[in-house]
Amino acid sequence: MIKRSVIFAASILVCAFAAPAARAEWPDHPIRWVVGFGPGGANDLIARFAAEGVGKRLGQTIVIENRPGAGAVIGTAFVAHSAPDGYTFLVGAASTITNSLLLKDLPYADSDLVPVGMIAVAPSTIIVHPSVPANNMAEFIAWAKAQGGKGVNWSTAGNGSTPEFVAEMIKEATGVSFTIIPYKSGGDGVNAVLANDVSATSEASIVVLPKIKAGLLKAIATTYEKRISIYPSITTTAEQGYPSVQIGHWAGLYAPRGTPEPIIQRMNAELQAALKTPEVQDKLTKTGIEPAGGSVADFVAFMKTERQRLSDLAAKMKVTKEK
């Protein structure tokens, strides 16, 4: 009788320890992906398309949380200081690797984030308000130079964002300087061009193509390495004689340092798998976005190359207050 009681008590003890272990299996509740820009920009839209596919594979909802401001510093810092439990991730952009080149006293260190995987690249397109008398790079540069002391206003998605690097690349290639007007998202920057508050910017295909097709904006060139597959009439900067003006709007996933390696590898695997599904590929490519994917190591290598490539340009940029 005593032996039976001991066995019964032991079984209860085993169950007591086993239950929390079962409940701890990741993920057991919704996950959030933080976007450091406002709704409507390239990173926000890419994040939403990818999150839907990854969430289905994980069996959990992935919630997109926008925390814009300070060139994505606010959203990045939030994730960097979040619990490394696999339930908070950052959808980063160029600013994730260049903010430390541009800004002093960041509220986080680059090492506070660990790369999880590349999501996608949206080709960037230089666009102007329809009133600007230019249809290609040569005409745009000539018009900009003719403005003299007035200068040309150029909107960006915040300090260190891709549009700001495009402006600096144009300056390096042609000598034309722009007055940089930073906003909190690519969508806001494009809206400023639509309202003719600024004359030009460079933004992701997913944001500008519908407005170009509607005649609300004029496309000057795409800064990507090749033409946009769904809109091949827009020629590249390289084809127009400006090969050094080249960059894309990329989006990649990061986690707080200390996030368990099995979670990082699982998230990477499900992200890659989701990007290969016809459903996600169709949503991305129809808007002019190229799914990227790749291993954690692939993403690390890409980040290293981009940081080296953009560091000289970043040293010449001036940080200005967002609109």
What's the confidence (pLDDT) of residue 315?
80
> What kind and span of H or E run contains 6?
helix 2-23
The answer to whether the beta carbons of residues 36 and 289 sit under 8 Å apart is no
Q: Looking at residues 158-162, what average pLDDT do you find?
A: 81
Note the pTM of the prediction, 2 decimals. Answer: 0.80
How many Å apart are CA 190 and CA 194, to the nearest integer? 6
Q: Is the pLDDT of residue 12 over 50?
A: no
Q: Looking at residues 125-132, what average pLDDT do you find?
A: 97
What DSSP character marks residue 134?
-
Q: Confidence band (pLDDT; 50, 70, 90) for 321? A: low
The pair of structure tokens assigned to 26 is 């990741």
The DSSP line for 300-321 is HHHHHHHHHHHHHHHHH-----
152: left (phi over 0), alpha (psi -120 to 50) or beta: beta
Q: Confidence band (pLDDT; 50, 70, 90) for 322? A: low
How many Å apart are CA 134 and CA 246, to the nearest integer? 20
* pLDDT tens for each residue of 78-92: 999 999 999 999 999
Quick check: helix, strand or coil at residue 97? Answer: helix
* pLDDT tens for each residue of 245-280: 999 889 999 999 999 999 999 999 999 999 999 999
The pair of structure tokens assigned to 172 is 């390096």
The pair of structure tokens assigned to 321 is 């207050």
What does the mean pLDDT of the chain come to?
89
What's the confidence (pLDDT) of residue 98?
86
How many Å apart are CA 156 and CA 165, to the nearest integer? 9
φ and ψ at 312, to 5 degrees? -65, -40
How many Å apart are CA 187 and CA 147, to the nearest integer? 26
Tokens 């909107």 correspond to what residue? Answer: 155
φ and ψ at 258, to 5 degrees? 100, -10
What are the CA-CA distances from residue 24 to residues 169, 246, 270 (Å)?
49, 45, 19
What's the confidence (pLDDT) of residue 15?
42
Q: Is the pLDDT of residue 6 over 80?
A: no
* pLDDT tens for each residue of 166-217: 999 999 999 998 999 999 888 899 999 999 999 999 998 888 999 999 999 9
The answer to whether the beta carbons of residues 237 and 221 sit under 8 Å apart is yes
